[in-house]
Amino acid sequence: MSVHTDQSAAAVTVLGLGPMGRALATAFLDAGLRTAVWNRTPGRDGDLVARGAIAAASAEEAVAAAPLTVVCVVNYDASDAVLRQDAVTAALKGRTVVNLSADTPARARDTAGWAERHGVRYLDGAIMTPTPTIGTDDAVFLYSGPGGLYREHQGVLAALGGSHTHLGEDAGRAAAYDIALLDIFWTSMAGYAHALAVARAEGVTGAELAPFAQGIAAILPPLFTEFAADTDAGTYSGELNPITSAASTMAHVVHASEAHGIDASVMRVIEGQARRVIARGHGTDGFTRVAEVITVR
């Protein structure tokens, strides 16, 4: 089925029907919004169309169907490949794009510059929670770019559920939060995968370890708040856990892992950072002093 290039055909368009794009389109449909959809590879819209979505034959047709287009593709090479086609750019003139694809702050700012040069109204954004949260109270969305534009589309975006936060006018700000938060997530996941391997080598099953792993995770939220204040103030208090003591426990992880033939390179890097802090005379400081020694410029 094809859409008319009539602005009233849909309230919102979703470009990109991977797992996240499909979740976004589903939430818009569930909220009763007329939703146009398009994906580079055809055939991903069947169930969405069955639920009332308008299947656009091209990206150009899709963006022309609604005043607001939400893009959710793998990265900004992909969103550029879609949005920067001449016909699509022309159809977007005067309309709004919210780019919920993930990439770096620099790419977000570059896209905002492109949008401004072409008369496209642009908000950048980031999704901080997995697909099952979309349309529920647990979803978390971040935005940056013109505040007035955000307020204009806030009502439609609210259909995606959860919390929506506008972080400021700098288009790169949502991606900056995204990068920092992904940093926490992936290094934590790497630590957990490694811990499971070490525990298994010691005859401890994942199920046995998991409740205690939850205990470690529960320690983190208050530490995040405390360390953030330390880092902002540059105080790095190590009164209760000096980095000399922390480095010693890191060495235990390295030795125990390598004794089982398990790659300990991540922990070796962390221990090395802690040792650099100590070598610079900050052995009584807390672990987050590391944030200073890893900054090379």
Contact positions vs ligand NDP (CB under 6 A):
16-21, 39-41, 44, 72-75, 78, 81-82, 101-102, 127, 130-131
Identify which of residues 54 and 243 has a Cβ nearer to ligand NDP in the complex.
54
For residue 32, the tally of other CB atoms under 10 A from its CB is 10
Closest CB 140 distance from ligand NDP, rounded Å: 9
Q: Give the integer Cα–Cα distance in Å for 289 and 283.
A: 10
Identify which of residues 52 and 132 has a Cβ nearer to ligand NDP in the complex.
132
Identify which of residues 18 and 147 has a Cβ nearer to ligand NDP in the complex.
18
Sheet holding 68-71, edge to edge: 54-55, 35-38, 12-15, 68-71, 96-99, 121-127, 140-144, 163-166
Closest CB 81 distance from ligand NDP, rounded Å: 4
Identify which of residues 40 and 275 has a Cβ nearer to ligand NDP in the complex.
40
Q: Give the integer Cα–Cα distance in Å for 80 and 64.
A: 17
Closest CB 187 distance from ligand NDP, rounded Å: 17
> Three-state SS for 17?
coil
Closest CB 18 distance from ligand NDP, rounded Å: 2
Identify which of residues 140 and 201 has a Cβ nearer to ligand NDP in the complex.
140
What φ, ψ does residue 23 adopt, rounded to 5°? -65, -40
Select the residue whose beta carbon is closest to ligand NDP and give its number.
18
Among 91, 114, 111, which residue's Cα sits nearest to residue 100? 111
Q: Tokens 């980095």 label which residue?
A: 243
Identify which of residues 74 and 87 has a Cβ nearer to ligand NDP in the complex.
74
Closest CB 252 distance from ligand NDP, rounded Å: 35
Report the DSSP beta bridge partners of residue 127: 141
Identify which of residues 20 and 253 has a Cβ nearer to ligand NDP in the complex.
20
Report the DSSP beta bridge partners of residue 70: 14, 98
Closest CB 15 distance from ligand NDP, rounded Å: 8
For residue 94, the tally of other CB atoms under 10 A from its CB is 10
Closest CB 51 distance from ligand NDP, rounded Å: 18
Identify which of residues 22 and 194 has a Cβ nearer to ligand NDP in the complex.
22
Distances (CA, A) of 225 to 17, 109, 232, 261: 37, 29, 11, 36
Which region, left, alpha or beta, applies to residue 47 given φ > 0 means left and ψ of -120 to 50 means alpha?
alpha
What φ, ψ does residue 236 adopt, rounded to 5°? 50, 50
Closest CB 158 distance from ligand NDP, rounded Å: 18
